[in-house]
Amino acid sequence: VLAASAPADWRTPDPEHTLYLELPSGRVVLELAPQLAPLHAENVRVLAREGFFDGLAVVRVHENYVTQWGDPDGKKEVREGKKALAPEFTLTGARARSLAFRPLPDPDTFAPEAGFVAGFPVARDRKRQEAWSVHCYSMVGAGRENGADTGSGAELYAVIGHAPRHLDRNMTVVGRILRGMEHLTALPRGSGPLGFYEKPEQRVPVLRARLAADVPVPEREPLEVLRTDTPRFGAWVQARRNRQDAFFVRPAGRLDVCNALPPVRTPPAPAP
């Protein structure tokens, strides 16, 4: 299906909404979701531009759950950004209705419908006029304390295990990691409560975080994501629902939204 795709089936993520996290082992590429969490996506952009993330650290690696990074001491000051924001857990009313939502055909355990908005996994309840981001593997959310308005994106976590869907509608999801997940999951697990590292020297530094737009073009990560609003995506979903290669004796006939995250590729070189 993908081999037969046309260039127009793919999109290049907006460099203004793409964040590069530079870890010692390599680069993590995070695409922000301003359609779903505009306040948090904007705040992450502002924080990145003021250098807030530079020199922070991975402080928590919780097996089959999340890797989290931020300011270990909570003392670093913000200049332009915010350290607390109104929650963006669920879109409601007109905002939910106006989303260009592409549903998957199969039932979802947690919601009346699951599918995609602009490439991101989303669940929907039409009767309640609600839509919300799904906590799939590789999705990134804003850490917070017990208060719903205590997060801002200054502290972020990535899902590194089976989708913790109980976090849906309880956390603001800011985007998806398109490349470099292995830099967040192939890390020693923290031995403290909730997987926090117990000793400062165990933390993994976030060397630098920049928007792709602020990186010289030759240093940017060339990548494309399969569009979710095309017939090609529908064909890809069908192929994943019913795998035809010789290995499979019994195609599932079903697909979970978290097994349907749109493929990411390095764009082919232009014809000479």
Confirm or reject binding of residue 170 to a copy of itself (CB under 8 A).
yes
* Segment near a copy of itself (CB under 8 A); pick from 12-20, 35-43, 76-84, 106-114: 106-114
For residue 146, the tally of other CB atoms under 10 A from its CB is 5
Closest CB to a copy of itself among residues 94, 146: 146
Residue 153: what residue type? Answer: G
Nearer to a copy of itself, 45 or 165 (CB): 165
Pick one of 2, 100, 186, 194: the residue that binds a copy of itself (CB under 8 A). Answer: 186
Contact between 164 and 150 (Cβ < 8 Å): no
- Exactly one of 10, 53, 69, 89 binds a copy of itself (CB under 8 A); that residue is 89
Contacting range for a copy of itself; rule: CB under 8 A; set: 41-49, 91-99, 182-190, 230-238: 182-190
Contact in structure between 136 and 104 (CB atoms under 8 Å): no
CA distances from 216 to 55, 173, 224, 246 (A): 21, 28, 18, 45
Buried b (16+ CB within 10 A) or exposed e, 228-262: bebebbeebbeebbeeeeeeeeeeeeebbbbebbb
Cβ proximity to a copy of itself: between 211 and 261 the closer is 261
Where on the chain is the footprint of a copy of itself (CB under 8 A)? 61, 63-64, 89-90, 106-110, 136-138, 146, 148, 161-166, 168-170, 181-182, 185-189, 240, 243, 246-252, 254-256, 258-259
